[in-house]
Chains A and B, each alone.
Chain A
Amino acid sequence: MSVLADPNRREFLKAATLTTAGLVVGFYVPAGRRFALAAEVPAAPAAPPLPQANAFLRIAPDDTVTVLLAHSEMGQGIWTALPMLIAEELDYDVAGMRVEHAPAAPAYFHTAFGAQMTGGSTTTWSEFDRYRQVGAAARALLLQAAAQRLGVPVSACRTDNGTVVTGGRRLRYGELAADAALLPMPASVTLKDPKDWTVIGQPTRRLDTPEKIDGSAVFGLDVRLDGLLTAVVARSPVFGGKVKSFDASGTLAVPGVRKVVQVPSGVAVVADHFWAAQQGREALKVDWDLGPGASLDTDAMVAEFRKLAVTQGKVAATAGDAPGTLARADKVVEVEYVAPYLAHAPMEPLNATVRIATDRCDVWTGTQMQTGEQMAAAAITGLKPEQVHVHTTFLGGGFGRRATPSADWVSEAVHVAKAAGATVKTVWTREDDVRGGYYRPLALHRVRAALGSDGLPAAWDHAIVSQSVLAGTPFEAMIPKSGIDPSSVEGAADSPYLEAIPNHRVQLHDYRAPVPVLWWRSVGHSHTAFAMECMVDELARAAGSDPVDYRRRLLADRPRPRGVLDLAAAKSGWGTPLPAGRARGVAVHESFGSFVAQVAEVSVEAGRIRVHRVVCAVDCGIAVNPTTIEAQMESGIAFGLSAALSGAITLKDGRVQQSNFDDYRVLRLPDMPKVEVHIVASRERPGGVGEPGTPPIAPAVANAVAALTGQRLREMPLRLRA
């Protein structure tokens, strides 16, 4: 969700640094300016909100250190990375730390976004200072508490892995926590010199593994409460449709069905358990007012996009005279790239459990946007936001789908619980998820480039037609005056290639359709990288250049993307022979403050593209947990390969034509390439890692297929022509 930020990433980082600098004392808010080291640990997730709801760390008398996460763990590994930041400064073994999701409260607002949320691959860099400061402040207080108790100066005390040592005495953190909690916060803390780091940069195993390998991890769908009912909702078969009337007689005859209630999004069947609710929904008869959405057709939309692309759009970037240069050029390459709507399809279908009382509302869900859920639930129940308690469970995948500005699934679940007058878990089926919208927008790119006498592009004229993720949402104000949603053009308008091309122009055509769209892992980069990296590759071939050399020339003044390009090329054996029937393709792309280059090795077997090996080089600045970074590159590549090889949501007569994993196919184990990850050693501030692995893989594969077969595949998913 880089869209929340200024599209100029460097400006954005500067602002974030300023914010975190202001948090040297501000990361803690309790009245009395006391650091909240609690003496006792609340037992159940359903317990009242933590008294020290704005703290990040609790040290219990038995020495248990609990870290509260301001962000949500959805696989990306922050359950481990954020505790590592505290452990580094606290002097405590990270492997012994306990971790919890924080409640929803302003203390946990994102340091750059002003709301509690997880997205845009921002967690580690946005918390890099705050969590270290928490650890350092806690350590300072523990030292002070020990010094006071023993009547020695603080300077005579040191810490040693969970203890304070002075002379021959050793006091455990747990023994000191209660005293330390009464001390005033230090005005400032000095963080360790990076050369003294012993935790940051060390490959560290995940802290959430034990509960995820024995079935005990609680995802939203696993929440159990007394008297809990389960609902499924019948929603309009086309986007924007409304209920005209419904007949629930068959539904109410299904054993286990308790109630059928109408909510703004459709008709909810509330039952004793999921199976009864689902059976009940099948028996439900709803008459829909389908509205204009019933004529939606993605083939027709692409045709319309194609027409729009040759008209005047909003200019997102321009230099020199691209159209004029093109008009005069001898050698012009003109192509079009298309990327379809895509569902996120996290393995855990959406769900939320809601309990409403007179003075409070509790919401259990795996969300990337606690503040939005809290506000939405407050508005629906008439309660104050602080009376809404959001309990964040583990997320069974997010990829952006669990961060909706409209709070879609939580709002619906609150409506269902309210209408049913019961505690209800509202569950989406897989079909509901695949057909439910909030897709990566459909996008069409038309690119024209003129080659100069040196073979490099002399002009680049680029039109993007897509649908804004922000328009029509509470985040619409984030679209700048230009009217250009940064997430529609990121990765193209700010491409380092364009900086090297004297005449360039990027235009955006914002298409409005009643299909809800959303950020999908890597957001705009998921299609702009495909267009940019395929086009550069086409130009390299047109110029008779090696694709890696050609990129090197364009990136001559950009050491970081060049660095990963060179590293990936070297490690992949670029330029060395491959067995017959195989070829390599390359792509390099910056997103979310990190640089990733990938070389894919492909073959074609029985008309199918097979990806055998991917060499991935990443420069994400300081590598907090190399194990996680490797895993996220593997993950981003697998996610991107699903889109490159098989992902597409299409509509006909307003109906989504896919429904489940049989027709919305995702990557399977036999198709997972061997992924080798190389991390560039760096002392730059951390960038993101959750998303940057995704954008380069589709163009790397397409470029390899072109090298192998001569076929330029310009539409995703990539399908070879017979």
Chain B
Amino acid sequence: MKLRVNDKDYEVAAPADMPLLWVLRDLLGLTGTKYGCGVGQCGACLVHVDGKPRRSCMTNAAAVEGKAITTIEGLSADASHPVQVAWAEVDVVQCGYCQSGQIMAAAALLAETPRPTDPEIDAALGRQLCRCGTYQRVRAAVHRAADLNQEQKS
């Protein structure tokens, strides 16, 4: 199958039912997208498909042929995406394992909703699990990223 990931085209030989997560990680070597539960419960594997958030562990790779897939490695070339900048400013990360998914979920939210309210953040990131409990900082960093977006525009 042909996959377009982070603006690059890949020809992949994978079983038709292989989840996108494992194609990304084990076949393409893009290990920034994480495995946490395999059943769509934790969000560590969240990527963008045509700009929309998708749990890659529950997405057959074959189903996203021809679509634009973005992983954490492709969010920006130099960690300059406002979400990444905000994440660094707010010192969000702890163990870091869930953070790719958190950041991708936040970026997808802000693309749709430039100024999310707390309930909107809850709705968009409420199923992104973090065992280190970085949630308070995740919330603060989403607001900060919204500010940074605004500043960039003005």
Closest to A667 in B: B133
Which among B72, B88, B94, B99 is the interface contact of A205 at CB below 8 angstroms? Answer: B88
Interface pair A275/B26, CB less than 8 Å apart = yes
Interfacial chain B residues near A331, Cβ < 8 Å: none
CB distance from B136 to the nearest CB of A (A): 5
Contact with A along B34-60 (1 / 0, CB 8 A): 111111011010000000000000000
Complex CA gap A450/B81 in Å reads 62
Interface pair A214/B131, CB less than 8 Å apart = no
Closest to A217 in B: B96
Residues of B75-126 contacting chain A, CB below 8 A: 75-76, 79, 84, 87-88, 91-100, 103, 121-122, 125-126
- Once A348-B36, A672-B135 are accepted as A-B contacts, the answer to whether A215 and B95 lie under 8 Å apart by CB is no
CB distance from A616 to the nearest CB of B (A): 12
CB distance from B53 to the nearest CB of A (A): 15
Complex CA gap A224/B27 in Å reads 11
Interfacial chain B residues near A73, Cβ < 8 Å: 95
Asked if A550 lies at the interface with its beta carbon under 8 angstroms from chain B, I say: no
Interface pair B26/A638, CB less than 8 Å apart = no
Asked if A187 lies at the interface with its beta carbon under 8 angstroms from chain B, I say: no
Interface pair B41/A669, CB less than 8 Å apart = no
Interface pair A215/B15, CB less than 8 Å apart = no
CB distance from B72 to the nearest CB of A (A): 4
Interface pair A669/B138, CB less than 8 Å apart = yes
Interface pair A430/B26, CB less than 8 Å apart = no
Which among A216, A224, A397, A662 is the interface contact of B132 at CB below 8 angstroms? Answer: A397
Complex CA gap A395/B97 in Å reads 8
Interface pair B35/A75, CB less than 8 Å apart = no
Asked if A674 lies at the interface with its beta carbon under 8 angstroms from chain B, I say: yes
Asked if B149 lies at the interface with its beta carbon under 8 angstroms from chain A, I say: no
Asked if A210 lies at the interface with its beta carbon under 8 angstroms from chain B, I say: yes
CB distance from A62 to the nearest CB of B (A): 21
Q: Which of A74, A278, A670 has the most CB of B within 10 A?
A: A670
Asked if A408 lies at the interface with its beta carbon under 8 angstroms from chain B, I say: no
Asked if A155 lies at the interface with its beta carbon under 8 angstroms from chain B, I say: no
CB distance from A515 to the nearest CB of B (A): 22
Which among B27, B95, B138 is the interface contact of A394 at CB below 8 angstroms? Answer: B95
CB distance from B147 to the nearest CB of A (A): 17
Complex CA gap A69/B137 in Å reads 26
Interface segment out of the listed A42-50, A243-251, A591-599, A627-635: A627-635
- Once A76-B94, A215-B31, A631-B91 are accepted as A-B contacts, the answer to whether A347 and B130 lie under 8 Å apart by CB is yes
Interface pair A395/B88, CB less than 8 Å apart = no
Asked if A530 lies at the interface with its beta carbon under 8 angstroms from chain B, I say: no
- Once A213-B84, A639-B131 are accepted as A-B contacts, the answer to whether A672 and B136 lie under 8 Å apart by CB is yes
Interface pair B136/A675, CB less than 8 Å apart = yes
Complex CA gap A662/B87 in Å reads 28
Which among A206, A636, A662, A668 is the interface contact of B126 at CB below 8 angstroms? Answer: A668
- Once A347-B36, A347-B98, A631-B91 are accepted as A-B contacts, the answer to whether A662 and B26 lie under 8 Å apart by CB is no
Closest to A214 in B: B79
Interface pair A669/B135, CB less than 8 Å apart = yes
Asked if A143 lies at the interface with its beta carbon under 8 angstroms from chain B, I say: no
Complex CA gap A666/B37 in Å reads 13
Closest to A351 in B: B35
Residues of A509-542 contacting chain B, CB below 8 A: none
Complex CA gap A662/B40 in Å reads 9
Interface pair A637/B34, CB less than 8 Å apart = no
Closest to B95 in A: A75
Interface pair A669/B131, CB less than 8 Å apart = no
Interface pair A631/B94, CB less than 8 Å apart = yes
CB distance from B5 to the nearest CB of A (A): 12
Which among B31, B92, B98 is the interface contact of A222 at CB below 8 angstroms? Answer: B31
Complex CA gap A76/B93 in Å reads 10
Closest to B32 in A: A215
Contact with B along A219-247 (1 / 0, CB 8 A): 10110100000100000000000000000
Chain A interface residue bracket vs B: 35 or more
Interfacial chain A residues near B75, Cβ < 8 Å: 214
Interface pair B126/A670, CB less than 8 Å apart = yes
CB distance from A679 to the nearest CB of B (A): 15
Interface of B is mostly: loop
Complex CA gap A476/B138 in Å reads 41
Contact with B along A329-360 (1 / 0, CB 8 A): 00000000000000001111100000000000
Interfacial chain B residues near A349, Cβ < 8 Å: 35-36
Interface pair A394/B96, CB less than 8 Å apart = yes
Asked if A396 lies at the interface with its beta carbon under 8 angstroms from chain B, I say: yes
Closest to A218 in B: B31
Complex CA gap A205/B89 in Å reads 8
Interface pair A429/B38, CB less than 8 Å apart = yes
- Once A209-B87, A221-B35, A674-B136 are accepted as A-B contacts, the answer to whether A661 and B96 lie under 8 Å apart by CB is no
Interface pair B15/A212, CB less than 8 Å apart = no
Q: Which of B72, B88, B94, B129 has the most CB of A within 10 A?
A: B94
Interfacial chain B residues near A641, Cβ < 8 Å: 133
Interface pair A208/B136, CB less than 8 Å apart = no
Interfacial chain B residues near A637, Cβ < 8 Å: 133
Asked if A660 lies at the interface with its beta carbon under 8 angstroms from chain B, I say: yes
Interface pair B44/A347, CB less than 8 Å apart = yes
Q: Which of B15, B126, B133 has the most CB of A within 10 A?
A: B133
Asked if A274 lies at the interface with its beta carbon under 8 angstroms from chain B, I say: yes
Complex CA gap A631/B94 in Å reads 8
- Once A394-B96, A661-B129 are accepted as A-B contacts, the answer to whether A206 and B79 lie under 8 Å apart by CB is no
Which among B44, B99, B135, B136 is the interface contact of A212 at CB below 8 angstroms? Answer: B99
Interfacial chain B residues near A208, Cβ < 8 Å: 93, 96
Interfacial chain B residues near A400, Cβ < 8 Å: none
- Once A213-B84, A399-B131, A669-B122 are accepted as A-B contacts, the answer to whether A430 and B136 lie under 8 Å apart by CB is no
Closest to B26 in A: A273
Closest to B130 in A: A347
Residues of A663-691 contacting chain B, CB below 8 A: 666-670, 672, 674-675
Interfacial chain B residues near A74, Cβ < 8 Å: 95
CB distance from B32 to the nearest CB of A (A): 2
- Once A224-B29, A347-B129, A430-B38 are accepted as A-B contacts, the answer to whether A212 and B93 lie under 8 Å apart by CB is yes
Closest to A636 in B: B133
Asked if B67 lies at the interface with its beta carbon under 8 angstroms from chain A, I say: no
Interface pair A667/B135, CB less than 8 Å apart = yes
Asked if A255 lies at the interface with its beta carbon under 8 angstroms from chain B, I say: yes
Asked if A77 lies at the interface with its beta carbon under 8 angstroms from chain B, I say: yes
Interface pair B88/A210, CB less than 8 Å apart = yes
- Once A275-B26, A347-B130, A672-B136 are accepted as A-B contacts, the answer to whether A75 and B94 lie under 8 Å apart by CB is yes
26 contacts between A and B (CB under 8 A): A75-B132, A205-B88, A209-B91, A214-B79, A215-B31, A216-B73, A255-B15, A275-B18, A276-B15, A345-B131, A347-B42, A347-B131, A396-B97, A397-B131, A634-B133, A636-B133, A638-B133, A638-B135, A639-B133, A661-B39, A662-B41, A667-B135, A669-B121, A669-B139, A672-B136, A672-B139
Q: Which 6 A-B pairs have the closest CB atoms?
A: A215-B32, A638-B133, A396-B97, A75-B95, A212-B96, A75-B94
Q: Which residues of A pack against B, CB within 8 Å?
A: 73-77, 205-206, 208-219, 221-222, 224, 230, 255-256, 272-276, 278, 345-349, 394-399, 429-430, 627, 631, 634-639, 641-642, 660-662, 666-670, 672, 674-675
17 additional A-B pairs beyond A208-B93, A347-B36, A399-B131, beta carbons within 8 Å, are A76-B94, A77-B94, A205-B88, A206-B93, A213-B87, A213-B93, A215-B33, A224-B29, A255-B15, A273-B26, A274-B26, A275-B19, A276-B15, A347-B34, A395-B95, A398-B95, A669-B139
